Amino acid sequence: MTFELQLERIRSMLESSECDIEILPPDEEKSRKLLAQGGNDFSPLAAVLAGTGGISVNSILRIYGCGAFDFFERNEKLSELGFTAVAEDVFGGVFGLDKSGTLFYLMPDELQFEEFGEDYNELIDWACDREDFDRFYSDYKKQCRGVIYDEIPINKGISLYPPLWEPCDEKRSAAAVPMEQLLTVEIGVMKKLSGEAEETEVTEDEE
């Protein structure tokens, strides 16, 4: 499908959604390069990358484009996750595609990957469904009582204390921190947990 037709199809879906969606303008130079590389056949992902600076959904989900929510910059930072990151949310969750194109979600409360859908199309479909979107994030939002999402700067996310991956029976405190910082902490904890799991396996094997 051509770039124009693919982007028009996606814009139509977004504009007909009951979600509060903002399509950000692309970086003109990056957009031109992507359009030149794409030829006449654009996938939904390629059209979003070339035609938008990113997409904000309910001030919670940020789908990457080539601008404010930059696909290329974010994937440089998230290369250790081992997949192609295509979106993030203010809670520290990351959506990404594996080598087969399957969509996964890094859960910020468990710091583990779960399969989310067959492909990138499912991310767009889900982001347009207000009921599914609200249901998915209901538990996370309960942990962030008092947070007004549309007041969070686009380059920041929500840091909770204790963090989501630690059990807590009391109210957590919330603060807006640079998104890069939030994700860096998550990756560091994931590495530590992975290392501890490997040590446990080695110890058990030795016994």
Comparing CA positions, the residue from 196, 166, 163, 168 lying closest to residue 182 is 163
Q: What is the DSSP string of 7-50?
A: HHHHHHHHHTSSS-EEEEPPPHHHHHHHHHHHTT---HHHHHHH
What are the pLDDT digits (tens) for 48-78? 999 999 999 999 999 999 999 999 999 999 9
Angstrom distance (rounded) from CA 132 to CA 144: 19
pLDDT by residue for the chain (207 residues), tens digit each? 999 999 999 999 999 999 999 999 999 999 999 999 988 899 999 999 999 999 999 999 999 999 999 999 999 999 999 999 999 999 999 999 999 999 999 999 999 999 999 999 999 999 999 999 999 999 999 999 899 999 999 999 999 999 999 988 888 999 999 999 999 999 999 989 887 655 545 445 555
Instruction: Tell me the C-alpha to C-alpha distance, in Å, between residue 43 and each of 50, 186, 192.
Output: 11, 31, 37
pTM for this one? 0.92
Q: Which amino acid is at 183?
A: L
Label residue 117 exposed, middle or buried (CB < 10 Å: 0-12, 13-18, 19+). Answer: middle
Cα(92)–Cα(22) distance, integer angstroms: 20
Residue 204 is predicted with a pLDDT of 54
Q: What is the pLDDT at residue 202?
A: 41
Give the model's pLDDT for residue 196.
Answer: 60
Phi and psi angles of residue 112, each rounded to the nearest 5 degrees, phi first: -135, 160
Report whether 130 contacts 19 (CB < 8 A): yes
Give residues with Cβ within 8 angstroms of 201, minimum separation 6. Answer: none
What does the H/E/C string look like for 70-132? EHHHHHHHCHHHCCEEEEEECCCCEEEECCCCCEEEEECCCCEEEEEECCHHHHHHHHCCHHH
High-pLDDT (> 90) share of the chain, %: 87
